[in-house]
Amino acid sequence: MKRFKSQVIRYASLPSTNTEAARLAVQGAEEGLCIIADEQTAGRGRLQRSWLSPKGAGIYFSTLLRPLIPLDQWPLITFVAALAVSDALRVACDLETDIKWPNDLLAGERKICGILAEAIETPQGRGAVVGIGINLTKEAFPADLTNVAISVEEATTRHPEKESILAALVEAIAHWYSALQEAGGRRKILEAWVARSSYAEGKWVRVINGDDVISGITRGVENDGALRVETSAAEMRIIRTGDVVSVRPAS
Protein backbone atom coordinates (compact mmCIF):
# COMPACT_ATOMS: atom_id res chain seq x y z
CA MET A 1 0.00 0.00 0.00
CA LYS A 2 1.23 3.54 -0.79
CA ARG A 3 1.58 5.77 2.26
CA PHE A 4 0.52 9.40 2.08
CA LYS A 5 3.51 11.45 3.26
CA SER A 6 2.62 15.12 3.25
CA GLN A 7 4.88 17.85 1.96
CA VAL A 8 3.31 21.29 2.36
CA ILE A 9 4.07 24.35 0.24
CA ARG A 10 2.38 27.64 1.13
CA TYR A 11 1.72 30.65 -1.06
CA ALA A 12 0.35 34.10 -0.29
CA SER A 13 -1.57 34.12 -3.57
CA LEU A 14 -2.14 31.75 -6.48
CA PRO A 15 -4.56 31.62 -9.40
CA SER A 16 -5.65 28.15 -8.20
CA THR A 17 -4.05 25.65 -5.83
CA ASN A 18 -5.35 22.83 -8.09
CA THR A 19 -3.60 24.32 -11.11
CA GLU A 20 -0.35 24.74 -9.15
CA ALA A 21 -0.48 21.18 -7.80
CA ALA A 22 -1.07 19.87 -11.35
CA ARG A 23 1.84 21.95 -12.68
CA LEU A 24 4.21 20.54 -10.04
CA ALA A 25 2.84 17.02 -10.61
CA VAL A 26 3.83 17.20 -14.28
CA GLN A 27 7.32 18.22 -13.13
CA GLY A 28 7.49 15.02 -11.07
CA ALA A 29 6.21 16.08 -7.63
CA GLU A 30 5.53 13.18 -5.30
CA GLU A 31 2.25 11.99 -3.88
CA GLY A 32 1.46 13.91 -0.69
CA LEU A 33 2.33 17.34 -2.08
CA CYS A 34 -0.03 19.82 -0.40
CA ILE A 35 -0.52 23.32 -1.78
CA ILE A 36 -2.08 25.98 0.44
CA ALA A 37 -2.80 29.57 -0.57
CA ASP A 38 -4.06 32.54 1.48
CA GLU A 39 -6.07 33.62 -1.57
CA GLN A 40 -6.85 32.43 -5.07
CA THR A 41 -7.37 34.81 -7.97
CA ALA A 42 -8.92 32.21 -10.30
CA GLY A 43 -10.27 29.52 -7.97
CA ARG A 44 -12.18 26.81 -9.79
CA GLY A 45 -15.26 24.81 -8.82
CA ARG A 46 -17.12 21.84 -10.28
CA LEU A 47 -18.86 22.07 -13.64
CA GLN A 48 -16.62 24.93 -14.87
CA ARG A 49 -17.79 27.27 -12.12
CA SER A 50 -15.51 29.73 -10.37
CA TRP A 51 -14.75 29.53 -6.63
CA LEU A 52 -14.49 32.88 -4.90
CA SER A 53 -11.35 32.83 -2.73
CA PRO A 54 -10.73 36.12 -0.90
CA LYS A 55 -7.63 36.50 1.24
CA GLY A 56 -7.91 34.88 4.65
CA ALA A 57 -11.63 34.05 4.29
CA GLY A 58 -11.23 30.37 3.49
CA ILE A 59 -9.00 27.36 3.29
CA TYR A 60 -7.74 26.88 -0.26
CA PHE A 61 -5.97 23.54 -0.31
CA SER A 62 -4.96 20.96 -2.91
CA THR A 63 -3.14 17.69 -2.60
CA LEU A 64 -1.57 15.37 -5.15
CA LEU A 65 -2.32 11.64 -5.14
CA ARG A 66 -0.88 8.96 -7.37
CA PRO A 67 -3.25 6.07 -6.54
CA LEU A 68 -2.58 2.51 -7.68
CA ILE A 69 -6.22 1.46 -7.61
CA PRO A 70 -8.56 0.15 -10.33
CA LEU A 71 -9.95 2.94 -12.51
CA ASP A 72 -13.53 2.33 -11.40
CA GLN A 73 -12.48 3.23 -7.83
CA TRP A 74 -11.12 6.65 -8.78
CA PRO A 75 -14.46 8.42 -8.16
CA LEU A 76 -14.10 7.30 -4.53
CA ILE A 77 -11.15 9.69 -4.15
CA THR A 78 -13.76 12.44 -3.82
CA PHE A 79 -15.43 10.38 -1.09
CA VAL A 80 -12.06 10.08 0.68
CA ALA A 81 -11.74 13.88 0.60
CA ALA A 82 -15.29 14.42 1.89
CA LEU A 83 -14.71 12.00 4.78
CA ALA A 84 -11.44 13.76 5.61
CA VAL A 85 -13.08 17.20 5.71
CA SER A 86 -15.88 15.78 7.83
CA ASP A 87 -13.29 14.42 10.30
CA ALA A 88 -11.24 17.62 10.29
CA LEU A 89 -14.22 19.86 11.09
CA ARG A 90 -15.32 17.47 13.83
CA VAL A 91 -11.84 17.21 15.40
CA ALA A 92 -10.73 20.83 15.04
CA CYS A 93 -14.06 22.70 15.41
CA ASP A 94 -16.41 20.24 17.09
CA LEU A 95 -18.66 20.68 14.04
CA GLU A 96 -20.83 17.88 12.63
CA THR A 97 -21.46 18.10 8.90
CA ASP A 98 -23.56 16.30 6.31
CA ILE A 99 -22.13 15.14 2.96
CA LYS A 100 -24.18 16.01 -0.11
CA TRP A 101 -23.50 13.86 -3.14
CA PRO A 102 -21.01 13.90 -4.58
CA ASN A 103 -18.74 16.20 -2.68
CA ASP A 104 -20.23 19.12 -0.78
CA LEU A 105 -20.04 19.39 2.98
CA LEU A 106 -23.09 21.00 4.56
CA ALA A 107 -23.65 22.52 7.98
CA GLY A 108 -27.35 22.88 8.75
CA GLU A 109 -28.20 22.32 5.04
CA ARG A 110 -25.90 25.14 3.85
CA LYS A 111 -22.64 24.53 1.99
CA ILE A 112 -19.48 24.97 4.05
CA CYS A 113 -16.98 23.16 1.79
CA GLY A 114 -16.59 22.18 -1.86
CA ILE A 115 -14.27 19.58 -3.35
CA LEU A 116 -12.85 19.47 -6.87
CA ALA A 117 -10.95 16.28 -7.78
CA GLU A 118 -9.25 16.29 -11.17
CA ALA A 119 -7.42 13.46 -12.93
CA ILE A 120 -4.13 14.53 -14.50
CA GLU A 121 -1.67 12.86 -16.86
CA THR A 122 2.00 13.16 -15.89
CA PRO A 123 5.25 11.53 -17.13
CA GLN A 124 5.06 9.39 -13.95
CA GLY A 125 1.56 8.20 -14.81
CA ARG A 126 -1.96 9.25 -14.01
CA GLY A 127 -2.50 11.25 -10.84
CA ALA A 128 -5.31 13.04 -9.06
CA VAL A 129 -5.34 16.58 -7.71
CA VAL A 130 -7.86 16.95 -4.92
CA GLY A 131 -8.83 20.55 -4.20
CA ILE A 132 -10.69 21.53 -1.06
CA GLY A 133 -12.25 24.91 -0.32
CA ILE A 134 -13.62 25.53 3.17
CA ASN A 135 -15.50 28.73 4.04
CA LEU A 136 -13.91 30.09 7.23
CA THR A 137 -15.74 33.41 7.41
CA LYS A 138 -18.76 34.86 5.62
CA GLU A 139 -16.44 36.88 3.36
CA ALA A 140 -15.66 33.59 1.57
CA PHE A 141 -18.87 33.71 -0.48
CA PRO A 142 -21.05 36.42 -2.07
CA ALA A 143 -23.72 37.96 0.17
CA ASP A 144 -26.49 36.71 -2.13
CA LEU A 145 -25.52 33.11 -1.32
CA THR A 146 -26.18 33.52 2.42
CA ASN A 147 -29.26 31.27 2.20
CA VAL A 148 -27.25 28.39 0.69
CA ALA A 149 -23.72 28.92 2.05
CA ILE A 150 -22.27 29.10 5.56
CA SER A 151 -18.86 29.53 7.16
CA VAL A 152 -17.11 27.74 10.01
CA GLU A 153 -17.29 30.98 12.00
CA GLU A 154 -21.08 31.17 11.66
CA ALA A 155 -21.66 27.46 12.19
CA THR A 156 -19.55 27.29 15.37
CA THR A 157 -19.93 30.91 16.57
CA ARG A 158 -16.17 30.85 17.18
CA HIS A 159 -13.27 32.28 15.26
CA PRO A 160 -11.95 29.34 13.21
CA GLU A 161 -8.48 28.01 13.96
CA LYS A 162 -7.24 27.64 10.38
CA GLU A 163 -4.01 25.84 11.29
CA SER A 164 -5.79 23.28 13.49
CA ILE A 165 -8.24 22.55 10.66
CA LEU A 166 -5.38 22.14 8.16
CA ALA A 167 -3.43 19.83 10.46
CA ALA A 168 -6.51 17.68 11.10
CA LEU A 169 -7.32 17.66 7.38
CA VAL A 170 -3.89 16.37 6.31
CA GLU A 171 -4.03 13.66 8.99
CA ALA A 172 -7.53 12.61 7.95
CA ILE A 173 -6.61 12.48 4.24
CA ALA A 174 -3.72 10.14 5.12
CA HIS A 175 -6.11 7.95 7.14
CA TRP A 176 -8.91 7.64 4.57
CA TYR A 177 -6.55 7.36 1.58
CA SER A 178 -4.79 4.43 3.29
CA ALA A 179 -8.19 2.89 4.02
CA LEU A 180 -9.16 3.11 0.33
CA GLN A 181 -6.06 1.16 -0.69
CA GLU A 182 -6.42 -1.62 1.90
CA ALA A 183 -8.10 -4.92 1.13
CA GLY A 184 -11.84 -4.22 1.46
CA GLY A 185 -11.11 -0.51 1.22
CA ARG A 186 -13.84 0.25 -1.30
CA ARG A 187 -16.51 -1.13 1.06
CA LYS A 188 -15.06 0.72 4.05
CA ILE A 189 -15.11 4.06 2.23
CA LEU A 190 -18.62 3.54 0.86
CA GLU A 191 -20.00 2.50 4.25
CA ALA A 192 -18.41 5.46 6.04
CA TRP A 193 -19.64 7.87 3.36
CA VAL A 194 -23.21 6.53 3.45
CA ALA A 195 -23.23 6.77 7.26
CA ARG A 196 -22.33 10.46 7.06
CA SER A 197 -24.60 11.49 4.20
CA SER A 198 -28.31 12.18 4.62
CA TYR A 199 -28.41 12.21 0.80
CA ALA A 200 -27.45 8.56 0.40
CA GLU A 201 -30.80 6.94 1.13
CA GLY A 202 -34.41 8.09 1.23
CA LYS A 203 -33.86 11.74 0.34
CA TRP A 204 -36.19 13.46 -2.12
CA VAL A 205 -33.98 15.20 -4.64
CA ARG A 206 -33.91 16.96 -7.98
CA VAL A 207 -30.88 16.16 -10.14
CA ILE A 208 -29.94 18.80 -12.69
CA ASN A 209 -27.55 17.84 -15.47
CA GLY A 210 -27.81 20.51 -18.14
CA ASP A 211 -31.25 20.14 -19.72
CA ASP A 212 -31.76 16.76 -18.08
CA VAL A 213 -33.67 17.24 -14.82
CA ILE A 214 -35.01 14.31 -12.84
CA SER A 215 -36.77 14.07 -9.51
CA GLY A 216 -36.95 11.13 -7.22
CA ILE A 217 -35.82 9.52 -4.01
CA THR A 218 -32.24 8.41 -3.34
CA ARG A 219 -31.60 4.67 -3.05
CA GLY A 220 -27.95 4.37 -2.05
CA VAL A 221 -24.75 4.44 -4.08
CA GLU A 222 -23.16 2.11 -6.63
CA ASN A 223 -19.74 0.54 -6.06
CA ASP A 224 -18.11 3.40 -7.96
CA GLY A 225 -19.93 6.05 -5.92
CA ALA A 226 -22.66 6.85 -8.47
CA LEU A 227 -25.96 7.87 -6.83
CA ARG A 228 -29.08 5.72 -7.34
CA VAL A 229 -32.27 7.75 -7.71
CA GLU A 230 -35.70 6.14 -8.06
CA THR A 231 -38.01 8.35 -10.10
CA SER A 232 -41.77 8.67 -9.62
CA ALA A 233 -42.12 6.38 -12.67
CA ALA A 234 -40.34 3.72 -10.54
CA GLU A 235 -37.33 3.87 -12.82
CA MET A 236 -33.87 3.57 -11.21
CA ARG A 237 -31.49 6.23 -12.56
CA ILE A 238 -27.75 6.05 -11.91
CA ILE A 239 -26.30 9.54 -11.48
CA ARG A 240 -22.63 10.15 -12.26
CA THR A 241 -22.64 13.91 -12.79
CA GLY A 242 -24.83 16.92 -12.12
CA ASP A 243 -26.15 18.94 -9.23
CA VAL A 244 -28.31 17.36 -6.56
CA VAL A 245 -30.73 19.50 -4.57
CA SER A 246 -32.96 18.46 -1.73
CA VAL A 247 -36.68 18.96 -2.46
CA ARG A 248 -39.97 18.43 -0.64
CA PRO A 249 -41.43 14.90 -1.04
CA ALA A 250 -43.69 14.43 -4.05
CA SER A 251 -47.32 14.22 -2.89
Please give the residue ranges that form the binding site for ligand BTN (CB under 6 A): 16-18, 40, 43-46, 49, 51, 60-62, 104, 114-116, 131-133
179-217 exposure pattern, b = at least 16 Cβ within 10 A, e = fewer: bbbeeebbeebbebbeebbebbeebebebeeeeeebebb
22: closest CA among 159, 126, 105, 153?
126
Judged by CB, which is closer to ligand BTN: 210, or 249? 210
To the nearest whole angstrom, how small is the minimum distance from the Cβ of residue 60 to ligand BTN?
4
Work out how close the CB of 21 gets to ligand BTN at its nearest, in angstroms, rounded to a whole number: 8
Nearer to ligand BTN among residue 114 and residue 216 (C-beta):
114
Nearest distance in Å: CB 58, ligand BTN: 7
Q: Which residue is nearest to ligand BTN (CB)?
A: 114
Residue with Cβ nearer ligand BTN (51 or 193) = 51
Instruction: Provide, rounded to whole angstroms, the least separation between the CB of residue 129 and ligand BTN.
Output: 8
Closest to ligand BTN by CB, 184 or 210:
210
Q: Supply φ then ψ for residue 29, to 5 degrees.
A: -55, 150
Burial class (CB in 10 A: 0-12, 13-18, 19+), 228: middle
